[in-house]
Every structure is written in C-alpha cells, then in structure tokens.
Structure 1
Amino acid sequence: MTFTNRLRVIFRSKASRTLDRLEDPREALDDSYEQLVRMLQDVRLGLAEVATAKKRLELQGQEMGARHQRLADQAESALNQGREDLARTALERRSLLEGQVAALRDQYTLLQKQQGQLQDNERRLAERVAAFRTEKESIKASYAASQAQVKANEAAAGLGSQMSEVGVSLDRAKDRIAQMQARAAATDELLASGALTDLTAPPDADLERQLSAGATSADVERQLRAMKDARASRQGRPAGSRGTGPDAWLSIGNGPDTP
C-alpha cells in the first residue's frame, strides 16, 4: 500500500467518524427534548405572569370593594346628619367606582380565562415532555445497543474504520521491518566484501576476519582428509570401539574426529 493510499484510507475513516457524530440520532433527540423543555418553561413563565397580574387585579378589586362600602356608609351618615349634599357626593363617587369595578372585573375574568388555558397547555405539554423523555431514552438505549453490536461484529469480521487504521499500521510496520532487514543484509554483505569500513572496529579487523575465515576453512579440509584416511585404514578390519564414553566430549576438537 502506497503512502497516498494510506492517507486516503485514514482520511476516509476520520471523515466517516465525523459524519457519524453529526448524524447521531441521540444528539438530535436530546436537542428536541431540550426544545420541548424550553417551551414548557416559557409556558410556565407565562402562567406565572398571568397569575401575578390576576392577583394584582384581585387586590385592587378588594380595595375598590372596601371603598365602595365605605362610600355607602359615608352617604348614610351624611344623610342622618341632614347633609344631603355630602350624601349626594358620596353616592356619585360610589356610582363612578362601580363602573371602574365593572371594568376591573372584566379584566380579571379575562385573565382568569387565560390562566385556565395556560394551565391546560402546561399540563398537556408537561405530559408530552415526560412521554418524549421516556421514548427518547428508550431509543437511545436501542441505538447504543445496536451500535455496540455493529462494532463487535465489525471487530470480529475485521471491518470498520478502526480496523482499517490497524491494518494500515500493520502494513506500515511490515514495510519498515522489510526495509530494515534488507538494509541490514545489504550492509552485512558490504562489510563482508570490504566495501564498507566499520569505524568502531579495531585496526586491521578486516584482515583478522578474513584470516579467521581461512583458518576455519583449512580446519574443515583437515578434518575431511582425516576422515578419509581413517576410513581407508579401517577397510578390511573389524570395527573398533569409538570414544562414546561419558568423557568423550573432552576430546572434541583435540584430534581428528573420525566417524
């Protein structure tokens, strides 16, 4: 595999993993769930604002109701004192207040209706969020199990992006080993032929190496001649005992090793 092909395989595997992360349905489900939760929070915030406004109107209406009763008492007290002018003024103010109370009551009724609608929406949306959360976790668990199974199957079959990278690394290691072995063999041949000089070797090491090789060759030739001579001398004579005792090894290399 060439270097360009290796880069192509690695890039393809990394790009595939990036796309898998972008297309992960678990992230899409989490995003949808967060949107629903934000919607539920907005509905609850609106419900709290409506309830607050309704409570304000309720307190204002209670104050106006107390004033309405106080004006009635003042009109009756003025009439008992013979002050019809004051009684008339109190009744006029009371009549004007009744119109304000009517307008306030309409607003209060409208807010009460809105609050009821928001409460229904909040309850339905909360149920939907809870159901979606349950389904989301179930789908995520199923996806995780399927993903684990796919990875296990790909690993068993030697497939998948990670296994591709492992294969690329293995091929690269094999190439490097082959190159180093070839280089070692080549340098050995060059050293043996004298084309390269070992700078760390002692002086005249090449001569010592060649002399040693020649000595070994001469020793082999000597043993071969001794074997031939011993064989010729044994022809026609009964075979004698050979040095096969427990101490026979002590004589190895000290004399001709004849079979």
Structure 2
Amino acid sequence: MGILSRASYVVRSKLNALLNRAEDPTETLDYSYERMRDELQQVKQGIADLTTQKKRLEIQKRRLEENVEKHNEQAREAVQQDRDDLARRALEKKKEKMSQIEELETQIADLQSTQDDLVEKKNDLQSRIEEFRTKKETMKARYEAAEASTRVSEAMSGVGDEMSDVSRALERAEERTDDMEARSAAMDELQESGAFEDALSDEDEIDRQLSAGRTESEVDAELETLKSELGESGGESEGSADVDVADDEIEAELDELRDSEDDEGSA
C-alpha cells in the first residue's frame, strides 16, 4: 500500500469514526422509515398511472366495439339495398376495427399483468414497512432507555466524585471546628485560672507573696486589737461561757478576713 493510499485509508477511518460518534440511531431509523414510505408512495403512484392508462385503453376498446357493431348494421343495410360495394366497405372497416380491438386487448392484458405484479409488490413493501416500523419503534425505545441509563450512570459517577470532594471538605471543616473548640476551652481555662490577669499585672511572684505576708500581719494585728477590746469590755464577771462565744465569733470573722485576703492575693 502506497503512502497516498495509506493516507486516504487513515482519512476515511477518521471520518467514519467521527460520523459514528455524531450519528443518532433514532434519527437514522426515522430517515430510513421515511425513505421506505416515499418508495411505497412512488409505487402507489405508478400503479395509479398504470391503471389510468389501462382505463383509457378499455374506453378506446369499447368505442371500437361500438364501431364494429355500427359497421355490421351498415353491411346488413347495404346488402338489403343491393349495395354490395357499400357492404364490402363496411365489412372492411369492421375487420380493421376488430384488428385494433385485438391489439388493445393485448395491451390491456399486459397492463393488467403489470398492475397485478405492482400491487403484489406494493402489498409486500407495505408489509415490510409496517414490520420495519414496529422494529424501529422497539429499537428506539431500547436506545432511549439505554441512553437514559447511561446518563443516570454518568450522573451518579459525577455525584460520586463530587461527594468525595464534599467528604474531604467536611473532614477539613470538622478538624478546624475541633481546633477552634479546643482553643476556646483553653482560653476559658486560662481565664478561670487568672493567667490573663497575671500576664497583664506588673507584679511578679515575689511581690505577690510579700503582699500576702503584709496582709496576714495586718490581720493578726487587727485580731489582737479586737481581742483586747473584747476582753476589756466583757470583764471577768461574764464568765467563761461568754468568753468562749466571743472567741468563736472572732475566729469566724478571722476566717472570713483570711478568705477575703486570699482571694485578693490570688487575683
């Protein structure tokens, strides 16, 4: 195979491949069905034309037969008048008309035979067209169902790919949400522990401990003052029970003061 032949073969192959991809089977079937219907219509038209021609010959034959009968009457009348010459001429015309009638009968018979053959072919073609139409509709239904199934499968495949992307996006969103929740919880914990306030304060740990020591000394001094005041105002005549009650109240107030100082120190 030469270069040009190979190139031509490749081009034809490419064109056939393109045509196969572009071809819609349902349109091809419909087109074939319409072509067959056109051919059937042409056959019917041919039968109609043939029948018309046959009818014309039959009409011409009837006219010739009428002329034959007329020439018979002419010949009889001529014989009655002893006009043999006229009778001969009438019989000659009769013979001529009968010869034409025989030719017409032959043509009419041929046309009838052709008409019968065309009618038979027309009926056969019509049956084939109806059979093709049934197969065409069945094939179109199968093709459309297969096409719909293919579209659904392709759509499902596309949805599967898209869902994979969506799943990954959900995973990333969930990870970011977990991170944000963890950071929020950590911030709340630092807030509760006072770490933010410590970071914002200018005092260091030594300053805070010294401040706490000063506060405790002041509380102890105030406590001694309270005890002295209570001891002087109560006197010894109130008895040991009143002293115990005073001591309990002092201890309770002392605890409250310590708790308050501890809260201020931790802050």
Quick check: TM above 0.5? yes
Q: Distance in 2 between matches of 1:94 and 1:141?
A: 68
Once superposed, what is the RMSD of the aligned Cα atoms?
3.2
Distance 1:86 1:30, change over 3 A: same
Aligned to 1:110: 110
- The Cα offsets for residues 152-203 of structure 1, whole Å up to 9 and x where unpaired, read as 01110128xxx99x9xxx9xxxxxxxxxxxxxxxxxxxxxxxxxxxxxxxxx
Q: Distance in 2 between matches of 1:231 and 1:138?
A: 95
Q: Distance in 1 between matches of 2:66 and 2:78?
A: 18
Distance 1:225 1:81, change over 3 A: same
Amino acid at match of 1:26: T
Q: Which structure: greater helix fraction?
A: 2
Distance 1:224 1:67, change over 3 A: same
Aligned to 1:145: 145
User: Which structure 1 residue ranges, 5 or more long, are not aligned?
Assistant: 1-17, 171-219, 243-257
Question: How far 1:25 moved relative to its partner?
Answer: 1.4
Question: How far 1:144 moved relative to its partner?
Answer: 0.2
Aligned to 1:238: 259
For residue 225 of structure 1, the aligned residue among 201, 206, 217 is 201
Kindly indicate whether residue 122 of structure 2 is the aligned counterpart of residue 122 of structure 1: yes
Aligned to 1:30: 30
Distance 1:225 1:63, change over 3 A: same
Q: Distance in 2 between matches of 1:96 and 1:158?
A: 89
Q: Distance in 2 between matches of 1:120 and 1:227?
A: 119
- The Cα offsets for residues 100-157 of structure 1, whole Å up to 9 and x where unpaired, read as 1111111000000000000000000001001100110100000000010011011101
- May I ask how many residue pairs the two structures share in their alignment? 171
- The Cα offsets for residues 36-89 of structure 1, whole Å up to 9 and x where unpaired, read as 111111111110110000000011111111111111011111111111111110
Question: How far 1:231 moved relative to its partner?
Answer: 6.1
Question: How far 1:27 moved relative to its partner?
Answer: 1.7
Kindly indicate whether residue 133 of structure 2 is the aligned counterpart of residue 133 of structure 1: yes
Aligned to 1:193: none
Amino acid at match of 1:72: N
Q: Distance in 1 between matches of 2:137 and 2:121?
A: 24
Question: How far 1:23 moved relative to its partner?
Answer: 2.5
Question: How far 1:21 moved relative to its partner?
Answer: 5.9
Amino acid at match of 2:138: S
Larger radius of gyration: 2
Distance 1:114 1:234, change over 3 A: farther
Q: Distance in 2 between matches of 1:231 and 1:158?
A: 66
Q: Distance in 2 between matches of 1:19 and 1:96?
A: 66
Aligned to 1:98: 98
* Percentage of matched positions with identical amino acids: 36
Question: How far 1:32 moved relative to its partner?
Answer: 1.4
Matches within 5 A, 1:196-235: 224-225=200-201, 233=211
- The Cα offsets for residues 2-34 of structure 1, whole Å up to 9 and x where unpaired, read as xxxxxxxxxxxxxxxx86762221122112112
Q: Distance in 2 between matches of 1:129 and 1:100?
A: 42
Kindly indicate whether residue 72 of structure 2 is the aligned counterpart of residue 51 of structure 1: no
Q: Distance in 2 between matches of 1:89 and 1:104?
A: 23
Normalization by structure 2: what TM-score? 0.56
Question: How far 1:222 moved relative to its partner?
Answer: 11
Distance 1:227 1:28, change over 3 A: farther
Normalization by structure 1: what TM-score? 0.58
